Structure 1
Amino acid sequence: MLLTRLKTLGLWLTPLLLGSAAQAHSPYLKPNTFNAEQQRKHVTVEASFAEGELRPDVAMKSDSFHVIGPDGRRQPLVPAAVLKDASYLEVPLDASGTYLVSSGVRKGRLAKALLRRGQLHFTEQQEDPLPGDTPVEVQSLTRADVYVSRGRPSAVDFDTDGLEIYPVTRPYDLYAGETVTVRVRENRKPLAGETLTLIADGQSYASQKQAEQHFSTNAAGEVSFKPQAAGVYLLQVRVRRPSPDKPTLWLSNTATLTIEVQAQP
């Protein structure tokens, strides 16, 4: 029953994931601590999809969950539990330093769309194309990342590939009121002119709500922003382009990075 429900929810989520950031469920990884003390040898990470607030709504499933340790070695992860709303990973922290926990690239199902004046238009029902429209299929690809540290942090420039949000400002050294810089890159090459969305968690309880913010990456693929409040934030970028091998197939890549902004000491 659980597997059937997850498959049904996955099909329902696909058009949402292909939509705009404000309307879509976002994939995220959320650890129970971002900076573990030296004596702590694991963290528990929640993997789910949410809309706005990072409250689990649909469990994330992936064959590519993994962690990259301070020594650069990659270790596959198998969820300790898969519930209806979230999966939970117990991530080993075998040594001091900073780790990258990732869902890997998750492939969704194909969705139908119309390419109209260079823009994709998704429809839940059959729609007659207008003159000049081109029917295409869109493949959804999603990835969620988070960095965690045990004891003394270490460098974070791991050997990765695919679309990702890389923290230029050290992820364990983010403070309210200070500038944070991240780089959108694909196969380690910067992407200019892409839209990065910043979503603040915990807004249900905030006296002053923080609306979603949108930034455009510069020539170096970078965005800088200054969070005014401590808390957990989700960064998201979506890159769409035609497949290099098939003109009627478009690829919709979504990458997220969860960060913790600390209060000023």
Structure 2
Amino acid sequence: MRLPRLHPAAWPAWLLLSAAAQAHSPYLKPNTFSAEPERKHVTVEASFAEGGLRPDVAMKSESFHLIGPDGRRQPLTPAAVLKDASYLEVPLLAEGTYLVSSGVRKGRVAKAVLRQGQVHFTEGRDETQPGDLPIEVQSLTRADVYLSRGRPSAVDYSTEGLEIYPVTPPQDIYAGETVTVRVRENRQPLAGQTLTVIPDGQQYAAHKPAEQHYSSDAAGQVRFTPASAGLYLLQVRVRQPAPGNPSLWLSHTATLTLEVLPQP
């Protein structure tokens, strides 16, 4: 199902949090992942896409930010906000690796019920069953990407919230080689979470590869091997009750855009 071109804040809450929202994923895509030493900025596209990384609905956030090689956090303001995408001009003042993030974006609150430990959305529909516990669900989304200027540097920055952390250095990922990432929240590993790997650029492929799903191990880690070079979007969703408020659940979605290089 294709959604109308509205900003996600205007979509019905049940739709944002249902299977349809799974198709529209937040992403950040730079015009280069590895800038030459003399290049002092990178342009990053911020949008929601259905399937591949083709802009469909502009991403808006008050928390766009950059963390540089020195670990300092710097807010970012879009240079342009169009209907389909926002564009960030990211300054690269020193050599090394940078984290660009949308920050945590709050969505709408949806009506739902807790049924046998699982969240079922009910807003706009009458599907309640005996034993259902009424709850509300707050949508929270975050998109990340790592990029470098010149020689890459370590990337274990001080971050908060749900994220997909690249254990394999993000500028050293090659087709046919194992990639390791860690699902973590407030820098603590999350086990048993489903990570979805979505290959980009498949709209013209005769045989489109299916999305791959993996479960994080006890250390929060997922290992996968990309078959071909290109861009990949990694996504994880974690739903849990809000601290101190069992009637409110938080639905966190985090994505990470990776560039997989061809074998040299």
Distance 1:8 1:148, change over 3 A: closer
Identity value in percent? 75
* Match in the other structure for 1:209: 208
The runs of 4+ residues in structure 1 deviating greater than 2 Å are: 5-11, 13-17, 19-24, 205-208
Please name the residue that 1:231 is paired with: 230
Q: Is the 8 A contact 1:233 1:261 kept in 2?
A: yes
Q: How far apart, CA to CA, are the structure 2 residues paired with 1:207 and 1:261?
A: 21
TM-aligned CA distance change 1:21 to 1:227, over 3 Å: farther
CA contact (8 A) 2:122 2:128 kept: no
Greater mean deviation of Cα atoms: 115-124 or 169-178: 115-124
Larger CA deviation: 158-167 vs 207-216: 207-216
Q: Distance in 2 between matches of 1:151 and 1:109?
A: 40
Question: Cα gap change, 1:124/1:48 in structure 2, threshold over 3 Å: closer, same or farther?
Answer: same
Measure the CA separation in 1 of the matches of 2:20 and 2:200: 15
- Please state whether the residue corresponding to 2:203 is helix, strand or coil: helix
Q: Report the Cα offset of residue 41 of structure 1.
A: 0.5
CA distance in 1, matches of 2:8, 2:141: 16
Q: Which residue identity is paired with 2:130?
A: P
Q: Which residue of 2 aligns with 1:158?
A: 157
Write the distance in 2 (CA, Å) between the matches of 1:196 and 1:225.
10
Query: RMSD across aligned C-alpha pairs, in angstroms?
Result: 1.7
**TM-score, normalising length: structure 1:** 0.94
What TM-score comes out, normalization by structure 2 length?
0.95
What is aligned with 2:9? 10
Displacement of 1:10 in angstroms is: 2.2
- Per the alignment, residue 253 of structure 2 pairs with 254
Letter of the aligned partner of 2:57 in structure 1? V
User: What is the CA distance between 1:51 and its match in structure 2?
Assistant: 1.2
Q: Quick one: structure 1 residues 171 and 95, their matched pair in 2 at CA, closer, same or farther if it must change by over 3 Å?
A: same
Matched, 1:26 2:25: yes
Cα deviations across residues 5-37 of structure 1 (Å, max 9, x unaligned)?
Answer: 987642316434422488431110000000011
- What is the aligned length? 261
Q: Quick check: 1:17–1:24 contact (8 Å CA) kept in 2?
A: no
Q: Which amino acid aligns with 1:182?
A: V
Report matched runs for 1:68-147 at 5 Å: 68-127=67-126, 129-147=128-146
The offset of 1:178, in angstroms, is 0.3
Give unmatched runs, 5+ long, in structure 2: none
